[in-house]
Amino acid sequence: MKKTLSIALTSLSLASLVLFWPWPAQSQQRRWNTMMTCMACHVDPASGSIHGGFRGLKGLPKSDIDIVCLSCHDGSDPLIPEAAVHDLPPTGTSEFGTWTIHCLDCHSNHYDMLAGDGTGNYNLKMLGQLVLEASSTDDVARIRKPIISDPLGNNGETNNRRRYEDDSLAGWECSSGIYDDSACADDLTSTDDDDVRKLVFYTNIDTDATNWAQATAPYNGACNSCHTRAGNHRRDGTGTQNHKLPTVCTQCHTHPVGWTDRGQ
Amino acid sequence: MILHRDAIQATRETRRHLSWQETFLAATVLCLLASAQQVSGQYVHNPRRIAEGPDGQVLVTDRTAKAVVGVDKKTLEPVWSFPLPGEGAPFGIATWRNLVFVGDTQTQNVRVYRLVMPDGRGNNAAPPTLEFLYNLGHTNPGQPGEIVNPTDIAVDAKQRRVFVLDTGEKKVKIYDVEGNLRHLFTPVDEAGYIMRPVAIAVDEARQEVLVSDYGNPAGSFTISTPPRILIYNYDGQLLFQINGNRTTQPSTKFVRPQGLVADGIGRIFLTAALRGQILVLDRASGMLMGELGSPGNEPEQLALPLDLLLDEKSGDLFVTNNRGARRVEVLRRAGRLR
């Protein structure tokens, strides 16, 4: 009896420690992330219930996924980071024409739970860990599921396993649209527009500008990994590469306003 | 817009080098300067809440442009915009006579402006001016206010009361139109829980406050609650709850309820944000009476609608369409009684 009580008290103490420990901010964010459940995104808009109301998102247009994300990240709850899509509205005009960087072009929510480089660093802000197949060619959402245990990868290439397990190998699509395309995987530091980019997004993103933009190759910050036409910090090294550095990009360009510089 | 941006840049410079008194003076001057920088809006980038505007217009808060935008009711085109000073983050909006109440989630205030028409009449040819009067609660301009996250605002014109939903403190705060706090309450549900209130409306005829709430449907780590509409009297006593998970009425199903409006004769119009539709609900029973609009990314379709306004004269329903065609949409005569 005494032993049982002791075990129960110990378990209770441990649980209390986990729940109420003053975790550092990064871990708190992680705890909040873990409170997101499947149904936060997968709820069927027309079901009005949980059971039987699941909606698979695979194959939906990425613009529909944006709506799923923004329906919570709308700024109405201070505990949930506010965000807006990085785009130009269809009614707007710019020298670049109409363009949209959808949520899934940068973020990969499924993989976040398994991210981490083994040293306590996490993939911050759910930034994409895996290549999104043909992410900008047909506007269809496909998220690779994390297959950590896959010994050699689906097609037997060693690169596949490496990319599943090494979360520093975040990236964007290959021009071929094939996730396991070795031509992409072997050329992670290429400055071509269509190759996978090895992202750096593990240090303090609020104080270290290199997470966002770098003035020298391989230009693998979160901003210049995508920029091909913007005036500053393009992924191929052209354009103005020292724009405001070392000021962190997000001090002026923030997610709640879609990274624009309006009013800045 | 360029002048406005210069003004903000100047504000930053003064923040670096000036004392707080000088900064306050500079901010005041810049506020006046900003109020004069009316520009013709080209498009609405990130529309949030909507309110009745000057003759023939609605007013919309644009989070990305950090501005209040006037939109013509007939053409649905933006006709003027008013950038909030500094790093303003406009969210909730409501109007009463010539006063415009704008929730600023950055400064944590509801800013009260006087709408001044250029020639003193309802002339749409020239843009009006918004003249800053005071913050609700009379907090100092430039200082954090007493409303942490003013995401929605409603007005009872007869009672001269302004109802602010503060989703930061999760309170409904009721002010008089002079800016004095009169009363506040916590929007709890039947079980006494408070989850995630999002938007607010008032039914002047019934003297009721309606709050849409996401709830916590999955219920992991916390209590499971459905998405719902909570209805209170003006004292904050819960009168009725319409659940979106079919438990109130089998026909009533919604998730992510956003802006809503009561027409005073027993109907509630609710924006179902994720569904891309407007739902018409019976106030008395919670029964679904109709579904308006269709989801989609094309003009006249709804994608992430966040708020709506019922034009009582015409029956038109104006909707802020946050994604898709990204503009104010209208469902003509949809609010009329059949």
Instruction: Check residue A52 and give its pLDDT.
Output: 56
Is the pLDDT at B91 greater than 70? The verdict is yes
Q: How far apart are CA B141 and CA B132, in angstroms?
A: 10
When mean pLDDT is compared across A225-234, B33-42, B143-152, B188-197, the lowest value belongs to B33-42
Hey, is the C-beta of B8 within 8 angstroms of any chain A C-beta?
yes
Position A160 scores a pLDDT of 33
Please give the Cα distance from B272 to B250 (Å, whole number). Answer: 17
A214-246 burial code (b ≥16 CB/10 A, e <16):
bbeebbbbbbbbbbeeeebbbbeeebebeeebe
CB-based contacts of B44: which residues, under 8 Å, 6+ apart? Answer: A89, A91, B60, B62, B65, B69, B71, B78, B326, B327, B328
- For residue B149, is pLDDT > 70? yes
> Which residues is B104 bridged to in the sheet?
B90, B109
Q: Are the beta carbons of B272 and A71 separated by less than 8 Å?
A: no
The CA distance from A145 to the nearest CA of chain B, in Å, is 22
Nearby residues of A155 by Cβ (< 8 Å), 6 or more positions away: A180
Interatomic CA distance for residues B68 and B57, integer angstroms: 12
Is A261 in contact with A253 (CB distance < 8 Å)? Answer: yes
Cα–Cα dist B136/B248, whole Å: 36
SS3 A174: coil
User: DSSP per residue over A189-214, as a string?
Assistant: T--STTS-------S-TTT-GGGT--
When the pLDDT of each residue in chain B is averaged and rounded to a whole number, the result is 86
Helix (H) or strand (E) holding A183: helix A182-185
pLDDT of residue A121: 41
Residue A95: the pLDDT is: 73
pLDDT of residue B30: 42
Please report the pLDDT score of residue A209 as a whole number.
87
Give every residue of chain A whose pLDDT is below 50, as ranges: 17-34, 112-123, 128-196, 198, 262-264
Please state at what angle helix B2-17 crosses helix B20-36, rounded to 10 degrees: 180
Whether a cis peptide bond, with omega within 30° of 0, leads into A218 is yes
Query: Is residue B91 a contact partner of residue B48, using CB atoms and an 8 Å limit?
Result: yes
Which residues of chain B are within 8 Å of residue A91 when distances are taken between CB atoms?
42-44, 325-327
Amino acid A241: pLDDT: 85
- DSSP structure string for B202-238: EETTTTEEEEEE--BSS-SSS--B--EEEEEETT--E
Report how far residue B132's alpha carbon sits from residue B112's, in angstroms, rounded to the nearest whole number: 6
Q: DSSP assignment, residue B140?
A: P
**Which of B35-49, B79-93, B269-283 has the largest mean confidence?**
B269-283
d(CA A264, CA B6): 9
Q: Which residues are B154's β-sheet partners?
A: B163
Q: What residues in A contact B217, CB-CB < 8 Å?
A: 39, 43, 50
Name the DSSP class of A215: S
Per-residue pLDDT at A235: 73
In the three-class reduction of DSSP (H, G, I as helix; E, B as strand; rest coil), residue A178 is classed as coil
Tell whether the torsion through CA atoms of B35, B117, B180 and B320 is positive or negative: negative
Query: Using the beta-carbon criterion (under 8 Å), do A76 and B217 form an inter-chain contact?
Result: no
Coil, helix or strand at residue B50: strand
Give me the interface pTM, i.e. the ipTM: 0.85
- Cα separation of B227 and B236, whole Å? 19
Alpha-carbon span B66 to A261, nearest angstrom = 11
Q: What is the mean pLDDT of the segment spanning B80-97?
A: 92
B83 touching chain A per CB within 8 A: yes
For the segment B223-240, what is each residue's pLDDT rounded down to a tens digit? 788 999 999 999 999 999
Q: In terms of Cα–Cα distance, which of B307, B241, B299 is closest to B278?
A: B307
List Cβ neighbours of B62 (8 Å cut-off, separation of 6 or more).
B44, B45, B46, B47, B48, B68, B69, B81, B90
The dihedral sign for the CA sequence A206, A207, A211, A213: positive
pLDDT tens digit sequence for B299-330: 899 999 999 999 999 999 999 999 998 899 99
DSSP label at residue A249: G
Q: How far does CA A113 lie from the centroid of its chain?
A: 12
Chain A residues touching B300 at Cβ < 8 A: none
pLDDT at B14: 37
Structure tokens at B63: 């989070």
Q: How close does chain B come to A89, measured CA to CA in Å?
A: 6
Q: In this complex, is the C-beta atom of B106 within 8 Å of any C-beta atom belonging to chain A?
A: no
Could you tell me which residues of chain A have a Cβ less than 8 Å from any Cβ in chain B? 35, 37-40, 43-50, 61, 63, 66-68, 70-72, 74-78, 84-85, 89-93, 256-258, 260, 262-264
**pTM recorded for the entire structure:** 0.79
| B200 three-class SS | strand
Contact call for residues A84 and A258 (beta carbons, < 8 A): yes
